[in-house]
Copies of this chain bind each other. A is one copy, B any other.
């Protein structure tokens, strides 16, 4: 009970800072997403592929949240866009305060219109911490099992988009796509569900078009052809 009260207090302070972050980002016309998933579901690979496809159309930056190491930030850096590493130490999620400290760095880069925040790999706590993003994007991979939405509902109900990733591995698993979609939509009927594979490139046309639209970028036919 005591622990829960402490947690409520921490969360309400977090929400205040998140709201500040949100206003600061919106004032500058920066659309932002917060990517959440279990470790190893493919968030970094999805970001790398997304950056490669949209960076010519939209100035973007990435904030990488990790317990330890800057391995993911190094991967993103190769794509020639601004990347900021937040190392959380013993904390199993990013919070609004950590992101707040990264905003001066972000605003130091000219004309950024899209911010991707990669959260710590964890299906539980990241769902509870608003960072001030426009939307949370959940990722789950087909090797994790189709029951994940039922077992970790908070992450799925807090997200607007679900990417079901690594669909190239479908033939080698007993993952049931229809059951996974039903489970996810039972938790959150408004979820946009997309199926992706970083290996084959499947689903990235729809995903990138959705992002560009959400970020208010021009999505004319020229752009469509670029991301196909």
Contacts and interface: CB of A to CB of B under 8 A. Distances in A.
A151 B39 contact: yes
Interface string A22-50: 00000000000000001110000000000
Nearest to A95: B3
Interface in A142-173: 143-145, 147-148, 150-154, 166, 168-169, 172-173
A71 interface: yes
Nearest to A168: B172
A154 B68 CA distance: 10
A151 B90 contact: no
A71 B122 CA distance: 20
Given A168-B172, A172-B172, A151 B38 contact: no
A151 B71 contact: yes
Contacts of A166: 143
Interface of A: 3-4, 6-7, 10, 38-40, 66-69, 71-72, 90, 92, 120-125, 128, 140-141, 143-145, 147-148, 150-154, 166, 168-169, 172-173
Task: List the number of copies, as a whole number.
Answer: 2
Given A92-B125, A122-B123, 13 more contacts: A40-B144, A67-B152, A68-B153, A71-B147, A71-B150, A71-B151, A90-B124, A121-B123, A122-B124, A141-B143, A143-B143, A143-B166, A172-B172
A154 B91 CA distance: 11
Residue with the greatest number of chain B CB neighbours at <10 A, chosen from A39, A151, A152: A39
Contacts of A172: 168-169, 172
A151 B173 CA distance: 26
B39 A123 contact: yes
Contact of A151 (B7, B66, B144, B151): B66
Contacts of A150: 68-69, 71
Contacts of A152: 39, 67-68, 121
A92 B10 contact: no
Nearest to A144: B40
A40 to B, nearest CB: 3
A56 B160 CA distance: 48
Nearest to A187: B68
